[in-house]
Amino acid sequence: MLLAIDVGNTNTVFALHDGTEIVAEWRCSTERARTADEYFVWLQQLMANLGLRPQVRSVVISSVVPQVVFNLRILSDRYFHTRPLVVGKPEVNLGPPPRVDPTTHVGADRLVNTVGAFDRYGGDLIVVDFGTATTFDVVGEDGAYEGGVIAPGVNLSLKALHDAAAALPFIDVSRPERVVGTNTVACMQSGVFWGYVGLVEGICARIRAERDRPMTVIGTGGLSTLFAQGTDVLQVIDTKLTIHGLVLIDRMNME
């Protein structure tokens, strides 16, 4: 089996893929100090709970937190006896090179989403990823990454609002019943939900106008299903896009 690891700023996702489908998926908080041994004990217990005794043949890693990669490399080498593919390394084939400014570093997660989205939906795409940051990535007609937009993530904005304004509570993100709130929590929920709906609609409209051609908008990330309830601009929701991209990258580099 393939062990695909997607390290985000907040959470890390581990997924087992048997060559046809995802067999199991687990999530933990991203901790820079977590050791390879700790990862293995945690994974081993989760696998045992599902009755899994997989033979991991390969490991592929996407990480936006460089400090975590070292221990994941050790995990792969020590416990699965394989050298992992690390997205972003020069030797890893990702298809057409990004069309960005020279020396620009593109986040691994954005490159992986580009690979997965192009395979499933073709070119001329806008991929909106609701993560720690809310990112908008443009996928060209040939599948190349062509740049994008980075905005603060939903939960990051809520935390900043709570930290900066002593009278405002920390709230969960949800769709409010009405736009105009009649209490503090309802007002905040409306501002966050409809504010981000407006952000997504506005940025996607401007990207389409700048490109002057039809573009399909793909939503991914944990909150994508929630925000799809408030707008038609998110034409497809694919919460497994990053893992699909990692599976494809593993295949591309096995050939």
Active site residues: 109
- The DSSP element (H or E) to which 57 belongs, if any, is none
Specify the residue for token string 């460089």. 66
Sign of CA dihedral 139, 140, 143, 145: negative
Distance from C-alpha of 52 to C-alpha of 46, rounded to nearest angstrom: 9
Residue whose C-alpha is closest to residue 69's, from 92, 48, 102: 92
Asked if residues 17 and 243 have their Cβ atoms less than 8 Å apart, the reply is yes
Task: Tell me how crowded residue 185 is: count the other CB atoms within 10 A of its CB.
Answer: 14
Place of tokens 């080498």: 77
Q: Which two tokens stand for residue 100?
A: 């960005």
156-179 as b/e, with b when 16 or more CB fall inside 10 Å?
Answer: bbbeebeeeeeeeeeeebeebeee
Element (DSSP H or E) covering residue 149: strand 145-152
CA–CA distance, 158 with 151 (Å, rounded to integer): 13
C-alpha–C-alpha distance, residues 141 and 146, integer Å: 10
